[in-house]
C-alpha cells in the first residue's frame, strides 16, 4: 500500500523529466538526420557529380583520340595529294584540346582511381606526342615513307592503347557511379528505418507519458473528491454542531433565565403590592421590576435570535412573519414579503436551514448592499402556469452557481420545488477576484444539506438576488446523520 507521501507526490517532476528527455531525443535525432542528409549531399556532390563530370572529360578525350585516329588513317592513304606536314595544324589543335581535357580530367578524377592509372595515362600521352613529333620531323625531312611507317608501327598502336585506357576509365567511372548509387540507397534506407524507429519510440513515449498523466490526474481527482467529501462532512458537522449549540443556548436562555427573571418579576410585584402607597421603597421596587421585565424581554429576543422557538413550534412561515418585521425595525430596511402557492408543513430540520439562509441574505443586504429596500419571496409549489410566471422574476446574469443534489432536481417535476428569493437594488456581489466572506459558503453548505440549489445572481436592474430552490421531497440524511429515510416537505 503506498505511503501518504507517495500518494501526495506531484507528477510535475516526472512530466518535466519526460518532456526534457523527449526534447533531447528530438534534438539529437534531428541533428543526426541533418548530419546524414549533409553527408548524402556531399556524397552526391563530391562523388556522383564529380564522376559524371570526369566521364564527360573522358568522352572528350576519347573524341580527340578518335579524331587523331581518323587523321592518321587519312595520312596513310597514298591517294591523298597532300604531304604529311599538311596535318600538322590539325594535330596541334587536337593536342591543345586534348591537353586541356587531360588537365580537367585529372582534377575531377575520382578518389578511387589509383596513382598508377593516373601516371600511366600521363606517360602514354606524353609518349604518343613524342612519337607524333618524330613523325612530323621525318615528314619535314622529306622522308614520307619512314614517317608513314612510324604512324603504322607506333602512333596507331599508341593511339589504340590510349583509347583502351580511356574506355577502361569510363567503365570504371560507370561502376563507381553504381557503387555511389548503392551507397546512397543504403543511406536512404537506413535513414528511413531510423525515422520509423524514432516515430515508434516517440509514440511509445507519448503513450507512456499520457498514461502517466492520466493516472496522476485520476489520483489527483480522487484525492480532491475525497478532500471535498471530507470538507463537506466537516461543514455539515460544524453546521449541525452550531445549530445544536445555538438551540441549547436559546432554550437555556428561554427556560432557565426566562423563568428566573419571571419569578423575580413576580416576587417584586408581590413585594410592591405589600408596600404602602407613597413609600420610597414602593417606587424603587417598581423600578427594579421594570428592569427585570426589560431584561426578560432582552433575554427572550436573544433567545429568538439564536434559535427561534417558534420555528420548532409554529413552522417556517410563522417564523418569517415574525422575523421580517423585526429586521425592518432593527435595520430600517423596507422589506416586501410575498408568499405564493399552496403552503405545506416543512420539517424543522430543513426549516432551520432555510431560515438561516434568509437571515444571512438579509444581513448581507443590511451590511454590504447599501440598499434601503429588499424583497423576500416564498413560493410553494403550484400549478405550472403560476410557476412559469414567477420564474420570470429576478432573471439576470449569473455570477456563481451553488451545489445541490443533481439527481433529485433532474427527477423532480418543474412544480415540485419550494423557492425562496431575497433581492435588493444595492451594490451587488463582490467581483470574483475579491476575497469573499464565509457567509456565501455557509449558505451553499446549508442548501446542500437539504438537497437544494442556491444561486447568487445579478439582476438586470442591478443589485443582487439570492435564489434557493428546495425539492419537495427532501432527504433528512443531509440534515440528520443518523437518519437516511426521505419525507415530504
Judge if 203 and 349 occupy the same domain: no
- Of the residues 198, 214, 230, the one at which a domain ends: 214
Please tell me the distance from the alpha carbon of residue 409 to that of residue 407, in angstroms, as a whole number.
Answer: 5
> In this structure, is residue 182 part of a structural domain?
yes
Q: Quote the pLDDT of residue 154.
A: 86
Q: Quote the pLDDT of residue 241.
A: 84
Q: Quote the pLDDT of residue 396.
A: 39
Judge if 202 and 330 occupy the same domain: no
Question: What DSSP designation does 392 have?
Answer: T
Q: Quote the pLDDT of residue 415.
A: 47
Q: Quote the pLDDT of residue 96.
A: 92
List the beta bridge partners of residue 418. 470
- Assess contact for 205 and 22: CB atoms under 8 A: yes
pTM above 0.75, yes or no: no
Residue ranges making up the domain that contains 410: 310-488
Grid coordinates of 402: 451553488
Judge if 53 and 170 occupy the same domain: yes
Judge if 186 and 327 occupy the same domain: no
Q: Quote the pLDDT of residue 348.
A: 79
Q: Quote the pLDDT of residue 48.
A: 67
Q: What is the per-residue DSSP string for 51-114? A: HHHHHHHHHHHHHHHHHHHHHHHHHH-TT--S-GGGGHHHHHHHHHHHHHHHHHHHHH--TTS-
Q: Quote the pLDDT of residue 375.
A: 92
- Of the residues 156, 190, 214, the one at which a domain ends: 214
Check which CATH number belongs to the domain holding 354 and give it.
Answer: 3.30.565.10
Please tell me the distance from the alpha carbon of residue 380 to that of residue 347, in angstroms, as a whole number.
Answer: 14
> In this structure, is residue 255 part of a structural domain?
no
> In this structure, is residue 257 part of a structural domain?
no
> In this structure, is residue 243 part of a structural domain?
no
Q: How many Cβ atoms are within 10 Å of 125's Cβ, its own excluded? A: 19
Q: Quote the pLDDT of residue 387.
A: 41
> In this structure, is residue 390 part of a structural domain?
yes
Q: What is the per-residue DSSP string for 163-177? A: HHHHHHHHHHHHHHH
- Of the residues 165, 182, 214, the one at which a domain ends: 214
Ranges under pLDDT 70 in the chain: 1-11, 15, 43-48, 80, 111-112, 382-415, 430-437, 474-489
Whose cell is 478532500? That residue is 227
Q: Quote the pLDDT of residue 384.
A: 44
Whose cell is 597514298? That residue is 78
Grid coordinates of 70: 581518323
Judge if 169 and 44 occupy the same domain: yes
> In this structure, is residue 209 part of a structural domain?
yes
Please tell me the distance from the alpha carbon of residue 105 to that of residue 363, in angstroms, as a whole number.
Answer: 103
Please tell me the distance from the alpha carbon of residue 53 to that of residue 251, in angstroms, as a whole number.
Answer: 112
Count of domains in the chain?
2
Tally DSSP H helices, then E strands, for the chain: 15, 8
Judge if 207 and 328 occupy the same domain: no
Q: Which residues of 374-395 are buried (b: 16+ CB within 10 A; e: fewer)?
A: bbbbbbbbeeeeebeebeebbe
Judge if 67 and 206 occupy the same domain: yes
> In this structure, is residue 180 part of a structural domain?
yes
> In this structure, is residue 142 part of a structural domain?
yes
Rg (CA), the chain: 55
Judge if 342 and 457 occupy the same domain: yes
- Assess contact for 399 and 440: CB atoms under 8 A: no
Amino acid at each position: 500500500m503506498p505511503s501518504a507521501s507517495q500518494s501526495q507526490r506531484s507528477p510535475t517532476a516526472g512530466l518535466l523529466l519526460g518532456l526534457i528527455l523527449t526534447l533531447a531525443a528530438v534534438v539529437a535525432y534531428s541533428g543526426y538526420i541533418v548530419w546524414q542528409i549533409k553527408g548524402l549531399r556531399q556524397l552526391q556532390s563530391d562523388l556522383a557529380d564529380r564522376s559524371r563530370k570526369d566521364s564527360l572529360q573522358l568522352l572528350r578525350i576519347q573524341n580527340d583520340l578518335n579524331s587523331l585516329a581518323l587523321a592518321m588513317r587519312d595520312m596513310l592513304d597514298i591517294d591523298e595529294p597532300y604531304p604529311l606536314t599538311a596535318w600538322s595544324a590539325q594535330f596541334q589543335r587536337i593536342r591543345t584540346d586534348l591537353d586541356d581535357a587531360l588537365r580537367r580530367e585529372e582534377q575531377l578524377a575520382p578518389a578511387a582511381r589509383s596513382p598508377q592509372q593516373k601516371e600511366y595515362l600521363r606517360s602514354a600521352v606524353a609518349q604518343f606526342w613524342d612519337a607524333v613529333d618524330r613523325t612530323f620531323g621525318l615528314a619535314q625531312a622529306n622522308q614520307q615513307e619512314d614517317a608513314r611507317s612510324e604512324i603504322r608501327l607506333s602512333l596507331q598502336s599508341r593511339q589504340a592503347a590510349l583509347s583502351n585506357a580511356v574506355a577502361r576509365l569510363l567503365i570504371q567511372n560507370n561502376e563507381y557511379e553504381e557503387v555511389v548509387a548503392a551507397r546512397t540507397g543504403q543511406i536512404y534506407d537506413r535513414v528511413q528505418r531510423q525515422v520509423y524507429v524514432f516515430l515508434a519510440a516517440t509514440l511509445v513515449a507519448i503513450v507512456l507519458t499520457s498514461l502517466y498523466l492520466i493516472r496522476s490526474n485520476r489520483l489527483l481527482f480522487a484525492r480532491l473528491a475525497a478532500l471535498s467529501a471530507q470538507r463537506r462532512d466537516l461543514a455539515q458537522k460544524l453546521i449541525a454542531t452550531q445549530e445544536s449549540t445555538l438551540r441549547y443556548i436559546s432554550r437555556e436562555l428561554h427556560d432557565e433565565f426566562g423563568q428566573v427573571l419571571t419569578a423575580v418579576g413576580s416576587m417584586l410585584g408581590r413585594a410592591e403590592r405589600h408596600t404602602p402607597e407613597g413609600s420610597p421603597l414602593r417606587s424603587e421596587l417598581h423600578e427594579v421590576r421594570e428592569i427585570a421585565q426589560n431584561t426578560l424581554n432582552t433575554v427572550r429576543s436573544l433567545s429568538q435570535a439564536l434559535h427561534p422557538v417558534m420555528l420548532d413550534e409554529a413552522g417556517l412561515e410563522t417564523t418569517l412573519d415574525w422575523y421580517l418585521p423585526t429586521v425592518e425595525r432593527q435595520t430600517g430596511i423596507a422589506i416586501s414579503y410575498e408568499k405564493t402557492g399552496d403552503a405545506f408543513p416543512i420539517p424543522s430540520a430543513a426549516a432551520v436551514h432555510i431560515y438561516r439562509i434568509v437571515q444571512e441574505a438579509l444581513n448581507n443586504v443590511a451590511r454590504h448592499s447599501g440598499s434601503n429596500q429588499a424583497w423576500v419571496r416564498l413560493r410553494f409549489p403550484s400549478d405550472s402556469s403560476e410557476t412559469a410566471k414567477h420564474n420570470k422574476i429576478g432573471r439576470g446574469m449569473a455570477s456563481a452557481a451553488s451545489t445541490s443534489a443533481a439527481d433529485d432536481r433532474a427527477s423532480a417535476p418543474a412544480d415540485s420545488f419550494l423557492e425562496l428569493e431575497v433581492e435588493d437594488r444595492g451594490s451587488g456581489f463582490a467581483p470574483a477576484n475579491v476575497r469573499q466572506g464565509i457567509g456565501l459558503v455557509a449558505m451553499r453548505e446549508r442548501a446542500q444539506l437539504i438537497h437544494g440549489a442556491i444561486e447568487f445572481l445579478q439582476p438586470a436592474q442591478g443589485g443582487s438576488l439570492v435564489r434557493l430552490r428546495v425539492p419537495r421531497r427532501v432527504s433528512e440524511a443531509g440534515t440528520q446523520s443518523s437518519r437516511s429515510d426521505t419525507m415530504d416537505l
